[in-house]
Amino acid sequence: MTAKITVPIDDRTLTRKTILLVEDDRDDEELTLRALRRSNIRNEVIVAHDGAEALGILFGEGNADREMDNFPAVVLLDLKLPKINGIEVLRRIRQDPRTRRLPVVVLTSSREERDRDEVYDLGANSYICKPVDFEKFSEAVGSLGMYWVLLNELPPVHEAPRPLAM
């Protein structure tokens, strides 16, 4: 059963958080968008259709001085992408101090253990295999949206990650 949250029209604080969906398959893109709407997640979703486009959205021209509060609340990242694969996108996100803490959820059809292990080693927040059944897929995406956009608290703006004490 999918939980639904209704956000009052006057409450724009929740809907200001954007979601970056990195997905090359148009059918999976549409299913993800529909699942978010079905769960009453009305936040803006920016879609990148390959890894290069995703990195351009995050770090491209005009984004060099981007403030932390202008980054998406979460990145939903497929692994099997054209141009630059999802593992490399994740690697670059984690290498940049501005996006090191940005929540990244890998949402993929890959059931390869080595893919799962590698993305966790690179700092992915979650690894979810796309269910084939739409109802299960819709429920999974709706839960993701509610958690990462509505419940999760992001680190304070402008706060750089502290080095680990040895």
Q: Provide the token pair at 140.
A: 């999974």
In a domain, 131, yes or no: yes
The reported pLDDT for the residue numbered 161 is 52
- With a pLDDT cut of 70, the percent of the chain lying above it is 77
Q: What is the pLDDT of residues 109-147, one digit of tens each?
A: 889 999 999 999 999 999 988 876 778 877 888 787 777
Angle ∠(145,152,4) on CA atoms, nearest 5: 40
Distances (CA, A) of 160 to 98, 101, 102, 148: 7, 9, 12, 20
In a domain, 28, yes or no: yes
In a domain, 103, yes or no: yes
Task: Give the phi and the psi of residue 106 in degrees, each rounded to 5.
Answer: -85, 120
Q: Give the residue numbers spanning the domain of 102.
A: 19-151
The reported pLDDT for the residue numbered 138 is 78
Q: Which residue has the higher pLDDT, 93 or 5?
A: 93
Residue 29's CB: how many other CB atoms inside 10 A? 18
In a domain, 34, yes or no: yes
In a domain, 159, yes or no: no
Average model confidence (pLDDT) for the chain?
80
Residues 127 and 120 sit within 8 Å (Cβ to Cβ): yes
The reported pLDDT for the residue numbered 119 is 96
Q: What is the pTM of this model?
A: 0.79
- Residue 125: what residue type? N
Tally of structural domains, the chain? 1
Question: Is the pLDDT at 7 greater than 80, yes or no?
Answer: no
The reported pLDDT for the residue numbered 6 is 42
Rg (CA), the chain: 16
- With a pLDDT cut of 90, the percent of the chain lying above it is 45
Question: Is the pLDDT at 165 greater than 90, yes or no?
Answer: no
Q: What is the pLDDT of residues 61-101, one digit of tens each?
A: 655 555 545 789 899 999 999 999 999 999 999 999 989 99
In a domain, 9, yes or no: no
Rounded Cα distance, 101 and 124, in Å: 10
Rounded Cα distance, 25 and 64, in Å: 29
In a domain, 95, yes or no: yes
Q: Which residue has the higher pLDDT, 27 or 13?
A: 27
Question: Is the pLDDT at 25 greater than 70, yes or no?
Answer: yes
In a domain, 156, yes or no: no
User: What CATH number has the domain bearing residue 52?
Assistant: 3.40.50.2300
User: Which residues have CB under 8 Å from 144's CB, separation 6+?
Assistant: 74, 76, 105, 107, 126, 128
